[in-house]
Amino acid sequence: MARDRYRGVTRDELKTSAVVVVAVLVAVGLVGAWGVLIPGVMVWDNVVVAAIGTLRLTGPVAAAFAAWVALRKRRALYGRPIGLWTALKGPLAVAGVVVGSFGATVLMLTLRAALSEQAGRLLPSGLLMGASGLALYVMIGWVIGWLVPRAITPLPAGIVAYALFAWLAGSGTWAARLAPITRGPYDLFQPLSAAGFLDQSLWLLGAAATLALAWAAVVTRATQALAGAALAMLAATTGLARMVAEPPTTAVAGGHVIYSCQEWPITICVHPGMRAGLGDLGSTFTTLAARLAGTPAAFQRVEQRSRLDSAAPLPGVAPIHVDDLSSGYAYRAAAEFVETLARPCAASEAAGYRAIVVAWLRGEPLPAGPRPELRAAAAWFSALTETQRREWLRMFYTDFATCRLGGAHFENAPTRPGLRVYPVNPSPH
């Protein structure tokens, strides 16, 4: 037992701690993935992004665990000659434990996704990048634990690792690619790059191997470790150069997406990973299409678009943005679309009249407004039937869209639609 003791901790205790760490990493990883998964989206890219997103939480835990093992390893080997394999098997074992926990997390996410039909395909290169990132976290923690063998070291090691990669990820420059993250914000219409993940994996694995072999060369004075560190640095530099040279990916144009569509009563088309939202989107936009019928904004087809897609829609097509399928997604998509129909009004009075029409189109209660004339307009508009409101909008749509609504628009509309023929989009006199 004395030979098994590592200055207060036995090999059995180390094995037990590894089991505990695996359980903690899996639990933390699932929590982290839940915060990254886009609600309701059934696409394999969503699983890959969520798996990589777990590193934001599991990486610092892995670094802290590596520092804890490293400081005890140094105490156990104090005063003894250290061979190259003896030095390397410690960080390799820790990396194996951490990457194994990542694999368990990915397995759970994959099994959950397999229960429903997912669009696209799973990218192994993305999972490789996640495992490579964890290896770099481990080596950062290991080196810190070895250099500062104090009982409190694991905590600051985890904090340093978290702060380093959070700073890189938020830098907004090319340096953000040094962190084990996906390019953000994630967009369903912006496909993940398998080649980009491979380049990032080469950088991360190369950096982790450079740290491991450089540390081993210092500890063991082995020339082969130094040579290996040079080769690892070359690999890391190659991966970094390829990442920097890689052109930014762009969103796929709406016309090149194989949509999932609902054809009746109007056509609603969304990304295949969001086909579960067709029903609610259909009911919401059918009502909106009926209210806009006969106006310049009339549409018969609704298409989900990427926020990065600036292409003009075809006539009769309403482009919408649906970020997720969490509660209220159809209302949010419709509200955002309605906001694009009329430009914001600088004058408060015009903005008040615009708000009355926007609220009706959104299906919200009509706002009373701060002024008596706005309250009177809201009361007058609320007294109209649905048919009268639609005819009113057909008459005055241009004024609504260009912030020219005034009190006169809410006084002279027909009370018995169908008895008169009104000009299209007139301005009141």
Give the angle 339-344-345 at the CA atoms, nearest 5°: 145
User: Per mean pLDDT, which range of 75-84, 232-241, 417-426 is the poorest?
Assistant: 417-426
Identify whether the C-beta of residue 235 lies closer than 8 Å to the C-beta of residue 166: no
What the block records as the tokens of 270 is 């969304």
For residues 119-143, average pLDDT: 91
User: Which pLDDT belongs to residue 264?
Assistant: 86
User: Which pLDDT belongs to residue 419?
Assistant: 35
Other C-beta atoms closer than 10 Å to the C-beta of 68 total 24
pLDDT mean across residues, the chain: 83
User: Which pLDDT belongs to residue 418?
Assistant: 42
Question: Which residue, among 194, 201, 192, has the nearest Cα to 55 in the 3D structure?
Answer: 201
User: Which pLDDT belongs to residue 215?
Assistant: 92
- Who contacts 70 (Cβ-Cβ below 8 Å, separation ≥6)? 90, 91, 141, 142, 143, 144, 145, 146, 149
What does the alpha-carbon distance between residue 103 and residue 106 come to, in Å, rounded to a whole number?
A: 5
The residue type found at 161 is: A
pLDDT category of residue 422 using cuts at 50, 70 and 90 = very low
User: Mind listing the pLDDT tens digit for each residue in 49-69?
Assistant: 889 989 999 999 999 999 999
The residue type found at 416 is: R
What does the alpha-carbon distance between residue 379 and residue 321 come to, in Å, rounded to a whole number?
A: 32
What the block records as the tokens of 191 is 């496909």
pLDDT category of residue 139 using cuts at 50, 70 and 90 = very high
- Who contacts 331 (Cβ-Cβ below 8 Å, separation ≥6)? 284, 362, 363
For residues 358-362, average pLDDT: 91
Q: What is the pTM of this model?
A: 0.79
User: Which pLDDT belongs to residue 192?
Assistant: 82
pLDDT category of residue 427 using cuts at 50, 70 and 90 = very low
What the block records as the tokens of 311 is 């292409």
Is residue 155 within a helix (H) or strand (E), and if so which, with residue range?
Answer: helix 154-169
User: Mind listing the pLDDT tens digit for each residue in 141-176?
Assistant: 999 999 988 889 999 999 999 999 989 888 777 778
For residues 291-309, average pLDDT: 88
Identify whether the C-beta of residue 55 lies closer than 8 Å to the C-beta of residue 181: yes
What percentage of residues in the chain have a pLDDT greater than 70? 87
Higher-pLDDT residue of 254, 191: 191
The alpha carbon of 219 is separated from its chain's Cα centroid by a whole number of angstroms, namely: 42
User: Per mean pLDDT, which range of 117-126, 164-173, 186-195, 405-414 is the poorest?
Assistant: 405-414
For residues 184-191, average pLDDT: 72
Distances (CA, A) of 130 to 100, 101, 105, 137, 179: 12, 12, 11, 11, 10
Question: Which residue, among 294, 323, 289, 328, has the nearest Cα to 307 in the 3D structure?
Answer: 323
pLDDT value at 415 more than 60: no
User: Which pLDDT belongs to residue 77?
Assistant: 73
What does the alpha-carbon distance between residue 21 and residue 101 come to, in Å, rounded to a whole number?
A: 9
Question: Which residue, among 305, 302, 270, 333, has the nearest Cα to 43 in the 3D structure?
Answer: 270
User: Which pLDDT belongs to residue 256?
Assistant: 61
Identify whether the C-beta of residue 268 lies closer than 8 Å to the C-beta of residue 282: yes
What does the alpha-carbon distance between residue 278 and residue 320 come to, in Å, rounded to a whole number?
A: 13
For residues 321-337, average pLDDT: 89
pLDDT category of residue 45 using cuts at 50, 70 and 90 = confident
For residues 295-319, average pLDDT: 86
User: Which pLDDT belongs to residue 156?
Assistant: 94
What does the alpha-carbon distance between residue 179 and residue 136 come to, in Å, rounded to a whole number?
A: 10
Question: Which residue, among 290, 294, 293, 313, has the nearest Cα to 303 in the 3D structure?
Answer: 313
Other C-beta atoms closer than 10 Å to the C-beta of 12 total 10
